[in-house]
Structure formats: structure tokens, C-alpha cells
């Protein structure tokens, strides 16, 4: 019947389209929110993109937004429902980071990014699944079961923001927030055929983001279009007095950067990113996109990033070292799971032993080792030194080019279970994404084709720190000149 | 023959900084007496996702202290995570400073009993956050995180301290400097100032070779006296163990105040590897040179400088300068009194005597106890004390009456003139009254008079006392002495 069609129409909308519809009075925020809640209800049993939804609060907020609009409020994000990755603190809504150790934990405060989105008038539909504490590339490490890829339910959606990416790809939400420590926004966006933006380190406040790798973590939007990513970034970006690592710069009008005009833009093609072992269709699609950029007037320039092969080992030393300290607070004393022991140290052991999954334990142990007396210089300190070299590679490259283009991931989405017993193979899926986090760069993944099995392929554009306008403009120009985003998964 | 040992002590001192808010969050630092866990927020509770933001006032207080302790102030200081698990440590790590502390390479001067001056070198002074407090209640341990995240200054000395008395002098001087700067209350009983000495002993031969003995760290010292006693005890214990052929183990001890002895404590972790690494949540602290210079310019005059000025400008006796400059409140009082009284003809020394002998006696006797900072709250204003001493100088009252007047002033806050008038204490130099008093003394003590007159001249003092008693102490001693002599010999 008619309402079913209109509901389907509503859930296919992205942020900008939904905003236009609300502004034109074609539907209300309550209509929109109900449509998404119904679709989640219908599909998420199979997908498991959400850990929990908040329908009552969402509908109440939606009717509040509708009243505000009736009173003349016309902010672009007013009444837009969104999904939030479960590593972001949401006041009054259970937040677990995908870990059993935080089961039932209801935070007393919200992340700055969540507060900013609320202040902009958006509505929280629910919290999305994630690898436990964002440690993973497939969302299989969630303590609450894996999320499935909407393009093929036997495959992973990528990770760690796999819940957010699957929700957006499956039209369960017009957009979502994810977090990206080594590729956790970009890689699932690529696997799910949508857009994922990792802002420059310090662009978005980390306050209220449950820390994994503090010097690497960034919150980023996962959307259906580049324009939506620009809209959401503008809403969450900016200096925060609660996060000393935010950069004290004004937030640009990112949407204004989407001119469609990229002639003369210099796009670097890093030799080291087209390595053996890339899935042939991925390489072909990305090489075709280089031609497309050239046809749009951009200059493509071969470049070298000589320390590329060191990025992954450096990343895994830095991120695990930081994680080993960041996760020390989960001790069962003040919140979360608490398992009694004979002594206070036994209490810590019992609680952490029961609450953390195996990948989290593995990374805590690796990080603890890298920081230990006698190993610190050889591992952590050396990693930080090489990190500086990697950053210098990019600094050098960006003196010559505006953006750098590469595949987002060497493969398309792999099968659930395919790599769970091989942590090293899992880690290799991050090979093109971790450098941006180590160097504090911004990066975006956008769809650039499909493999022979019909799975989406993503290309990555990297820009210098605070260079979001450049990567957004390039990504938008490419997106508008292709039709990849129009193909949707059948559910 | 028992071997002689030299004592070697290094100190770690933790001082809570007197800021309005905690070190990395906006919680009020004024938590003393508040119900448990009421001065807390996501940051100092270590909730997931919370991030630290440095308290500028605490950084400035550390720079002020570093400058006052003659330290180099770092151009870049880096906060670091010190990792260990304990229920009172919410994040599982303490934010401290490790490789790049704010202050380094300073010194404090102490005076030795022979009057010479010794420098105790400061290895480093850095900023960190305090932990919460565990309270053991039966089978349970209760955690109060009001204190967690309080700004804490840690001062580490070189092992330059060679006795319990030197340690006492060092700590007294350090506490004095902290109070002058207004950065710390100096209150050891409440734990606002905490001191952990590392104590070892060695033979003079070992000292000559630059060797050190195994060191023992002593905790739980809640007063200056406890620090002194603990070091003295521990040094003797270690010498005793060595002389008996034993070995000193590197351990942590606690101080048992009741039994006045050190007792073995189990260390927190059997082998402590804190896995320090730079705190990624806080950018390196770049310390602007102008800020340092401005801070240096606004430092108050410190006790050493005051002491020197008192000695040079006012010729104060060394014994009194220390007593006055130790507490800024006392020095302030003294300077205000001298300003009202005068700087000429040894007047500052006379004022010093009145303060350190008489006013201190009243303060000590008072319920407020040993805290000389109470001088700021006494009812006797410095100007009133100056007026009193001026009355003594002008022989309107004698010195002993002056002490009595001061006591009455201390109780009432009245001016000395008012007290003297009300109590009828003005000095008597009227010859008739004095003569009558002398005569009364003679009449009551005929035997003594006879003995005196037969040559027992030392009885002069006896008659002086009798005569003063007869005038209730009001007689002008000079006039009385003269008349007594005349009448005895006459």
C-alpha cells in the first residue's frame, strides 16, 4: 500500500535530502523517525547493526523538532535521525563499546560530538555495533555478536564502525557517527558502498569517545553522500575546552567547498599503495577512478611515500601501548562488570578476565609489553620515531600534491569467520588506512565500483591536516560524475 | 669496636597545591570535610571517554615554587602516564611528569647548628594528580575520590641530607617557602604536605668511594617531628643491623607513631614497572619565557632574603631572624610592628624579643597550639604591641608590668594605655611611695636586714624582691634600686 512505498522512500533519503523534505513540509521528523525505526525493526534482526535503539526518546525528540520547525526553526539538521557508534558516550543511554565489561553501563554524560549533534537538532535512533573497544576490522570482535554486510549477509561490514556503516547502507539510518583509529570509518564505508570521513586529528573533540588509541582516535561521519559528510562534519567539528588536543581553528563552511570544480587539482598516486596482493578488481576500479579524476581536469602525479610499509607495525605498537593504559580503568570498582576476587588484585583479574574478549586482551598484553622496562626504547620509542618519518613522508608529498588517492582496503568485504583465527591477516586489511591516523591527516572513502561478486569497492582520498575542504571537493566532484552511489543493496 | 656510619637521606615531598579547582577537571578543590565522592565528575572519576585539561593555576604555582627553589624551568614539560592498578587510582594510571618535568636542578639552603649554611640540592619538582583515599571498614574497602585529581607538586631532593636534624631543617624551610608562596597549606596532619625520606647508612670508607647503602623508604609521616624521629630511628636501626653482621634490604617501611619505630610495609606491587609514556591526551606544555619572567618578578620576598635583610639592616640576632622569618605571618606581623615602633637604636631587636619571647609564649599557651600562623589572628595588633613597647621604653611601665599588660591585651584586644589605666599599672617612681615600700620590707625582715648590714651583701636582691612585691611590681626598678641601696647603706 501507499504508506509502505512512502516509508521506503523516506528511508532511502540521505541527510541533505531529508532536510530538504522537512523544510518543504513534505513529511515531518516524526514521519521520518518512525520510518527508520520501522525499518530497523524489520531488518536488524538479520543485520545486527544496532546494539540498541531508543524509539521512545527518538519519537519524543522528533515531535520536539517538528514543534520547533513550526515555530520557525530552520536549522539544516533539525529533526534528522542518526545512528551513533556505541563507543560514544550518550547520557542516559546504555553505552558498552561493544564490550561485556560495560554491559548495563548508563553514562551520566554525553560526548561533545553527540551534544553538538543534539544541539543542531538531530535525533538519536540508537547505538550501533562495534568491535569491542573499536579493536577490529570486521565487527566480529563485538561482545554482542557480529554485524552483517547488507550487500551479502554472509560477509562482514568491515570495522570497527561496522554497525554504523551497515545501518546507513541498509537505509536503517540516513547517516551515522563512527570512529576511526586506523581506518575504522573508512574501511567499513568501503565495504558497505557508502561514504566515510576521518577528520584530521584535533578537528573533532574526542571528549566522550571511549578511548582506544588516544593519539589516533577521531570521530567521523558515515553517510550516503559526500555532501552529507560535509554537513555532519560541520556540526561536530571545532575546538572543545574539554579536549586539549582539539585544534583552535574556526570550522569552515565545508558544504561551500563542494563546487564540483577540480580542474588543476593535483592528485598524488603513491607507488607504495599499489602493492602485490590487492584484489585485482579493487586495483582495476581504483585505477579507473584515476582516469576519471583526470577526465575531470585533475592532474594525477606519481608520488612516493617511502616509509609506507612501516606504518602497520608502528601503528600496532602505538595503538596497543595507548590502549593498554586506556583500558586500565575498566577494573570493576566504579562502573561496569564487577567480579569478586580474594584480594583487590584478584578482583581486578577476575573482572577483566571475564569482561574483556580475546582480541582486547591480546592488544592490552601487546601494549603492556611494548611499554615495559627494557622494551620501551626498542618498541614504543622507536615506533614514535618512525611515526615522525611517516608524517614527514606526507608533509613532503603535500608540498607537491593537494590530495593523495589510493584504495581504501586491499579487498572487498570478506566472509564472516574467514579471518577470525588469523589476527595478522585481519590487521592487513588496515594497510592503506593507518598512515592517516599516524600522521594526523584527514581521509575519506567513497564508492568507486563493484567487484565480480557485486560487492562495493572504495577509494580513499587523503588530505593534509585540516585539509578536509580539499578531499571533500575532490570526492564530491568524482561522486557526482559517477553513478556508483545509486546502486543499493537488496534487502 | 662498633663501626661508625654516616646517614644519607633523600626526600620526596608531595604538596597539594592551593588551587580553586582540581588538576585536570573543574571540580572544586575545597573538598575537606565534604561527604565522600561529592567533589567528582567524569574526569576525576576516570569515566570512559573523559579527558584531562590542565589547570593553568597549578602550572603557575609549580613554576613559582620552582623559581623559589632556584630551579631551571623547562621550556617544554611533558605529562606522562604512570601505570598501576589500585582502587584509589580511577584511571589505572596517574598523570604525572617523567622525563621532562617542569622544574629541575634547584637548591634550598639550611642553617647548621654551627651557623654554617648547607645547600640541599633539588633534583626535580613536577606536577601530578593526587589519588583518592581508601578507607578500610571491616571486610570492605571504601573508596573516596574527592581527593582524586587534586594538583600535587612533587619535590625530589638529591641525597644531600646527612642527619635527622638536617632533614627537619630542610623540611621546615621547604614548608616555609611553600607557605610564603601561598601554594600549599603546609598542613602535614591533614596530608596536604607529605614527606617520604629515603634513608641509608654507609661507612666513611664507602662514602669516600662514593658508594651508597641500600635505602629504605619511610611513609606515613604526619609531622615534622615524626620525620626527624623516623630518620633517627631508622639510621640507628640500620647501623645496628650492619654491626650485628646483617644486611639492609631495600624496602618500604611505615612509621608507627605510637611505638616510635619503623615497621615493614608490603609494597604495592612486588616489582614496580610503571611503564611511563607521554600522556597523549595532553599536548606538551610549552612554557612561555615571558610567563616565567613575569612569575619571577611577582615572587614575594622569601625567608632567606628576609633573614638577610633583618640581619643587615636591623642587626637582628641570627637566633631571632629564623624564628621570625619561618612563618610569613610572623614576619608580616614583625614588620608591621617595627614600622609602628621604629627602626633606630636596636628597636627591631627589642621588638623581636617581645614577639619571640612574650607573644609566642601566649600563642603557645593558647588553645591554638603550636601554629604560629595564628599570630595573624591575635587580638593584639602590631601597632598596639609597638605602643606597649614604647611605654616600657618611656618608663611609663616597667618591663615586667609590660608582660602583664601584654597578657591582658591578648585577652581583650584593648590598647596598652587603656589596660594600664584600668588596672592601675603605671610605674611608680614617686620617692615617698618607694621609701615607704623599702621601709615596709625592712620592718618585715629585721633578721635579713641585720645580716645584710653585717656584710651579707647578696641579700640586696632579696630586699629588691620584697620591695617590688610591696609595690605590686609597679615600682620603677631604677629608682627603687637607688633608694634601696641608699637606705640599706644609710
| B139-188 per-position pLDDT tens digit | 888 999 999 999 999 999 999 999 999 999 999 999 999 999 999 999 99
Is residue A120 within 8 A of residue A175, CB to CB? The reply is: no
For chain A, the structural domain boundaries read 2-309+388-486
Contact criterion met (CB < 8 Å) for A243 and B81: no
Contact A211 B48 (CB under 8 A): yes
Nearest Cα to Cα of residue B73 among B249, B290, B222, B268: B290
pLDDT reported for residue B141: 86
pLDDT digits (tens, 9 = 90+) for B220-250: 899 999 999 999 999 999 999 999 999 998 8
Burial of A473 (0-12, 13-18, 19+ CB in 10 A): buried
Which residue does chain A place closest to B81, by CA atoms? Answer: A325
Mean pLDDT over residues A425-447, rounded?
Answer: 93
Contact criterion met (CB below 8 Å) for A357 and B118: no
Lowest pLDDT segment from A164-173, A437-446, B421-430, B457-466: B421-430
Grid cell locating B324:
621570625
Which residues of chain A are at the B interface, by a Cβ-Cβ cutoff of 8 Å? 88-89, 95, 97, 102, 105, 107-109, 111, 206-211, 213-215, 241-245, 321-322, 324-325, 327-331, 333-335, 344-345, 348, 368, 371-373, 376, 380
Number of Cβ within 10 Å of residue A483's Cβ equals: 9
Q: Is the pLDDT of residue B266 over 70?
A: no
Report the residue from B53, B93, B277 with minimal CB separation from A380.
B277
Sheet strands side by side (includes A175-180): A50-53, A123-128, A81-85, A175-180, A218-223, A195-198, A442-450, A456-463, A403-407, A266-270, A299-303
Residue to substitute from A88, A98, A242, A321, interface B, most B β-carbons within 10 A: A242
Q: What are phi and psi of B136, to 5 degrees?
A: -95, 120
Say yes or no: B82 contacts chain A, CB-CB below 8 A: no
User: Which pLDDT value is given to residue B55?
Assistant: 98
Residue A162 has pLDDT above 60, yes or no: yes
In contact, B58 and B19? CB cutoff 8 Å: yes
Phi and psi at B204, nearest 5°, equal -55, -30
- Is B143 part of the contact surface with chain A (CB cutoff 8 Å)? yes
Question: Does residue B288 surpass a pLDDT of 80?
Answer: yes
Burial-class residue B263 by CB neighbours within 10 Å (0-12, 13-18, 19+).
exposed
What SS3 state is found at B10? strand
Can you tell me the distance from the alpha carbon of B137 to that of B95, in angstroms, rounded to the nearest whole number?
A: 28
- Secondary structure element (H or E) that encloses residue B262, with its range: strand B261-265
Apex A359 CA angle, A377 and A142, nearest 5? 140
Q: Are A59 and A35 in contact (CB under 8 A)?
A: no
Confidence of residue B412 (pLDDT cuts 50, 70, 90): very high
- For residue B267, what pLDDT is reported? 56
Q: Which residues of A touch B54 (CB under 8 A)?
A: 244
The reply to whether A85 belongs to the active site is yes
B54 touches chain A (CB under 8 A): yes
In this prediction, residue B269 carries a pLDDT of 45
List A29, A138, A142, A160, catalytic entry: A160
Mutate to test the interface with A, among B80, B143, B275, B285 (most CBs of A within 10 A): B275
The reply to whether B273 touches chain A by the CB within 8 Å rule is yes
The model's pLDDT over A470-482, given as tens digits with 9 standing for 90+, comes to 999 999 999 999 9
Q: Which residues pair with B168 in a beta bridge?
A: none
pLDDT band at B398 (very low <50, low <70, confident <90, very high): confident
Please give the ipTM for the structure prediction: 0.96
Mean pLDDT of A179-203: 98
What are A81-100's pLDDT values in tens digits?
Answer: 999 999 999 999 999 999 99
Contact assignment for A325 to B46 by CB distance below 8 Å: no
B319 touches chain A (CB under 8 A): no
> What span, in angstroms and rounded, lies between the C-alpha atoms of B179 and B373?
10
Task: With a cut of 60, say whether residue B268 has pLDDT above it.
Answer: no
Looking at domain B431-489, its CATH class is: mainly alpha
Lowest mean pLDDT: which of A200-204, A387-391, B43-47, B341-345? Answer: B341-345
pLDDT per position as a tens digit, A34-84: 999 999 999 999 999 999 999 999 999 999 999 999 999 999 999 999 999
Model pLDDT, residue A460: 98
Alpha carbon of A469: minimum distance to chain B alpha carbons (Å):
25
- Residue A417 in grid coordinates: 569467520
Pick the more confident residue, B366 or A105.
A105
Closest-CA residue to A178 (of A79, A86, A78): A86
Task: Report, at the CATH architecture level, how domain A2-309+388-486 is classified.
Answer: Alpha-Beta Complex (3.90)
3-class SS at A381?
Answer: helix
Q: In the structure grid, which three cell numbers stand for residue A184, read together? A: 575504522
Q: What is the DSSP letter of B342?
A: -
- Per the document, the length of chain B is 490
How far apart are the CA of A243 and the nearest CA of chain B, in angstroms? 6
State the DSSP H helix or E strand holding residue A461, giving kind and residue range, or none if neither.
strand A456-463
- Please indicate if any CB of chain A lies within 8 Å of the CB of B489: no
Could A325 and B92 be called an inter-chain contact, meaning their C-beta atoms sit closer than 8 Å?
A: yes
Chain pair A-B, CB pairs under 8 angstroms: 107
Please state the φ and ψ torsions of residue B357, each to the nearest 5 degrees. Answer: -85, -55
Would you state the pLDDT for residue A224?
98
d(Cα A444, Cα A185) in Å, to the nearest integer?
9
CB contact under 8 A, B92 and A329: yes
Q: Which of A479, A329, A459 is nearest to B88 (CA)?
A: A329
Q: For A348-357, B84-93, B295-304, B450-459, which range has the lowest pLDDT when averaged over its residues?
A: B450-459
A435 is catalytic: no
pLDDT at A3: 47
Residues of B in contact with A331 (CB under 8 A): 85, 87, 92
Domain ranges of chain B: 6-294, 301-423, 431-489
Contact residues for A163 (Cβ-Cβ < 8 A; gap 6+) = A48, A49, A50, A51, A83, A85, A86, A128, A129, A130, A139, A142, A147, A157
Asked if A19 is an active-site residue, the reply is: no
pTM exceeds cut of 0.80: yes
Q: From the list A209, A327, A371, which residue is nearest B277 (CB)?
A: A371
| Lowest-pLDDT range of A336-350, A438-452, B267-281, B336-350 | B267-281
B49·A244 Cβ contact <8 A? no
Residue A4's pLDDT is 46
| A273-292: pLDDT as tens digits | 997 889 999 999 999 999 99
Average confidence (pLDDT) over A483-491: 94
Which pLDDT does position A422 carry in this prediction? 82
Amino acid at each position: 500500500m501507499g504508506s509502505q512505498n512512502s516509508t521506503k522512500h523516506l528511508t532511502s533519503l540521505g541527510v541533505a535530502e531529508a532536510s530538504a523534505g522537512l523544510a518543504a513540509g513534505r513529511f515531518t521528523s516524526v514521519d521520518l523517525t518512525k520510518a527508520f525505526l520501522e525499518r530497523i525493526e524489520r531488518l536488524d534482526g538479520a543485520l545486527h547493526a544496532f546494539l540498541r535503539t531508543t524509539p521512545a526518546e527518538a519519537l519524543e525528540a522528533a515531535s520536539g523538532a517538528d514543534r520547533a520547525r513550526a515555530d520557525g526553526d530552520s536549522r539544516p539538521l533539525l529533526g534528522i535521525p542518526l545512528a551513533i557508534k556505541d563507543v560514544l558516550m550518550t547520557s542516559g543511554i546504555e553505552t558498552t563499546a561493544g564490550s561485556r565489561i560495560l554491559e548495563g553501563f548508563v553514562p551520566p554524560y554525553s560526548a561533545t560530538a553527540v551534544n553538538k549533534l543534539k544541539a543542531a537538532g538531530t535525533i538519536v535512533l540508537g547505538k550501533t555495533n562495534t568491535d569491542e573497544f573499536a579493536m577490529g576490522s570486521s565487527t566480529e570482535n563485538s561482545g554482542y555478536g557480529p554485524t552483517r554486510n547488507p550487500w551479502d549477509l554472509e560477509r562482514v561490514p568491515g570495522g570497527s564502525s561496522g554497525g554504523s556503516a551497515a545501518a546507513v547502507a541498509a537505509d536503517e539510518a540516513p547517516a551515522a557517527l563512527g570512529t576511526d583509529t586506523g581506518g575504522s570509518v573508512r574501511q567499513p564505508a568501503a565495504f558497505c558502498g557508502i561514504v566515510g570521513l576521518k577528520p584530521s586529528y584535533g578537528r573533532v573533540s574526542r571528549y566522550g569517545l571511549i578511548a582506544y588509541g588516544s593519539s589516533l582516535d577521531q570521530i567521523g561521519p558515515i553517510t550516503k553522500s559526500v555532501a552529507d559528510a560535509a554537513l555532519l562534519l560541520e556540526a561536530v567539528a571545532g575546538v572543545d575546552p574539554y579536549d586539549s588536543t582539539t585544534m583552535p581553528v574556526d570550522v569552515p563552511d565545508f558544504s561551500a567547498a563542494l563546487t564540483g570544480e577540480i580542474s588543476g587539482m593535483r592528485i598524488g598516486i603513491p607507488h607504495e599503495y599499489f602493492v602485490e596482493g590487492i584484489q585485482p578488481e579493487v586495483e582495476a576500479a581504483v585505477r579507473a577512478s584515476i582516469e576519471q579524476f583526470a577526465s575531470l581536469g585533475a592532474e594525477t602525479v606519481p608520488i612516493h611515500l617511502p616509509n609506507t610499509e612501516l606504518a602497520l607495525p608502528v601503528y600496532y605498537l602505538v595503538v596497543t601501548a595507548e590502549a593498554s593504559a586506556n583500558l586500565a580503568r575498566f577494573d570493576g570498582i566504579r562502573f561496569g562488570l564487577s567480579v569478586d576476587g580474594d584480594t583487590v588484585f584478584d578482583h581486578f583479574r577476575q573482572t577483566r578476565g571475564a569482561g574483556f574478549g580475546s582480541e582486547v586482551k591480546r592488544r592490552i598484553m601487546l601494549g603492556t609489553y611494548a611499554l615495559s622496562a627494557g622494551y620501551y626504547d626498542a618498541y614504543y620509542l622507536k615506533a614514535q620515531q618512525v611515526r615522525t618519518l611517516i608524517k614527514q613522508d606526507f608533509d613532503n608529498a603535500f608540498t607537491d600534491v593537494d590530495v593523495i588517492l589510493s584504495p581504501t582496503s586491499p579487498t572487498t568485504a570478506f566472509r564472516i569467520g574467514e579471518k577470525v583465527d588469523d589476527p595478522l591477516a585481519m590487521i592487513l586489511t588496515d594497510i592503506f588506512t593507518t598512515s592517516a591516523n599516524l600522521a594526523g591527516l584527514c581521509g575519506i572513502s567513497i564508492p568507486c565500483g563493484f567487484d565480480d561478486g557485486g560487492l562495493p569497492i572504495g577509494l580513499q582520498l587523503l588530505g593534509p591536516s585540516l585539509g578536509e575542504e580539499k578531499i571533500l571537493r575532490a570526492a564530491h566532484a568524482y561522486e557526482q560524475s559517477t553513478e556508483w552511489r545509486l546502486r543499493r543493496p537488496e534487502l | 669496636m662498633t663501626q661508625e656510619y654516616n646517614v644519607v637521606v633523600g626526600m620526596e615531598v608531595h604538596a597539594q597545591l592551593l588551587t580553586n579547582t582540581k588538576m585536570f577537571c573543574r571540580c572544586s578543590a575545597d573538598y575537606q570535610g565534604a561527604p565522600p565522592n561529592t567533589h567528582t565528575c567524569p574526569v576525576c572519576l576516570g569515566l570512559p571517554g573523559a579527558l584531562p585539561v590542565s589547570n593553568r593555576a597549578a602550572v603557575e604555582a609549580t613554576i613559582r615554587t620552582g623559581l623559589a627553589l632556584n630551579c631551571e624551568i623547562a621550556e617544554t614539560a611533558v605529562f606522562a602516564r604512570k601505570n598501576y592498578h589500585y582502587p584509589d587510582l580511577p584511571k589505572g594510571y596517574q598523570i604525572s611528569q617523567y622525563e621532562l618535568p617542569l622544574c629541575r636542578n634547584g637548591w634550598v639552603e639550611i642553617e647548621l647548628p654551627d651557623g654554617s649554611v648547607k645547600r640541599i640540592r633539588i633534583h626535580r619538582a613536577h606536577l601530578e594528580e593526587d589519588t583518592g583515599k581508601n578507607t578500610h571498614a571491616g571486610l570492605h574497602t571504601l573508596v573516596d575520590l574527592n581527593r582524586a585529581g587534586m594538583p600535587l607538586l612533587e619535590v625530589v631532593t638529591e641525597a644531600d641530607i646527612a642527619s635527622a636534624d638536617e632533614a627537619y631543617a630542610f623540611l621546615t624551610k621547604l614548608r616555609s617557602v611553600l607557605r610564603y608562596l601561598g601554594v600549599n597549606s603546609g598542613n602535614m596532619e591533614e596530608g596536604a604536605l607529605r614527606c617520604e625520606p629515603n634513608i641509608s647508612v654507609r661507612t666513611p670508607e664507602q662514602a669516600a668511594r662514593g658508594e651508597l647503602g641500600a635505602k629504605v623508604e619511610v611513609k606515613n609521616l604526619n609531622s615534622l617531628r615524626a620525620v626527624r624521629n623516623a630518620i633517627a630511628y631508622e639510621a640507628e636501626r640500620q647501623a645496628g643491623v650492619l654491626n650485628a653482621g646483617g644486611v639492609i634490604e631495600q624496602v618500604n617501611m611505615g612509621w608507627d607513631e605510637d611505638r616510635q619505630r619503623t615497621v615493614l610495609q608490603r609494597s604495592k606491587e612486588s616489582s614496580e614497572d610503571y611503564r611511563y609514556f607521554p600522556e597523549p591526551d595532553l599536548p606538551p606544555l610549552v612554557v612561555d619565557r615571558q610567563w616565567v619572567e613575569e612569575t619571577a618578578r611577582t615572587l614575594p620576598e622569601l625567608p632567606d632574603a628576609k633573614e638577610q635583610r633583618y640581619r643587615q639592616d636591623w642587626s637582628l640576632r641570627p637566633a631571632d631572624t629564623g624564628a621570625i622569618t619561618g612563618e610569613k605571618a610572623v614576619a608580616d606581623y614583625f614588620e608591621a610592628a617595627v614600622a609602628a615602633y621604629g627602626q633606630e637604636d636596636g628597636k627591631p631587636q627589642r621588638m623581636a624579643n617581645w614577639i619571640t619571647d612574650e607573644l609566642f609564649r601566649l600563642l603557645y599557651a593558647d588553645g591554638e597550639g603550636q601554629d604560629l600562623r595564628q599570630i595573624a589572628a591575635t587580638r593584639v595588633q602590631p601597632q598596639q604591641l609597638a605602643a606597649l613597647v614604647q611605654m616600657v621604653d618611656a618608663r611609663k611601665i616597667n618591663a615586667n608590668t609590660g608582660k602583664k599588660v601584654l597578657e591582658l591585651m591578648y585577652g581583650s584586644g584593648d590598647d596598652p594605655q587603656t589596660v594600664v589605666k584600668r588596672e592601675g599599672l603605671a610605674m611608680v617612681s614617686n620617692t615617698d611611695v618607694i621609701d615607704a615600700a623599702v621601709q615596709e620590707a625592712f620592718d618585715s625582715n629585721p633578721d635579713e636586714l641585720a645580716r645584710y648590714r653585717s656584710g651579707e651583701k647578696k641579700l640586696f636582691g632579696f630586699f629588691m624582691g620584697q620591695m617590688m612585691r610591696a609595690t605590686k611590681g609597679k615600682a620603677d626598678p631604677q629608682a627603687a634600686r637607688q633608694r634601696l641601696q641608699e637606705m640599706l647603706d644609710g
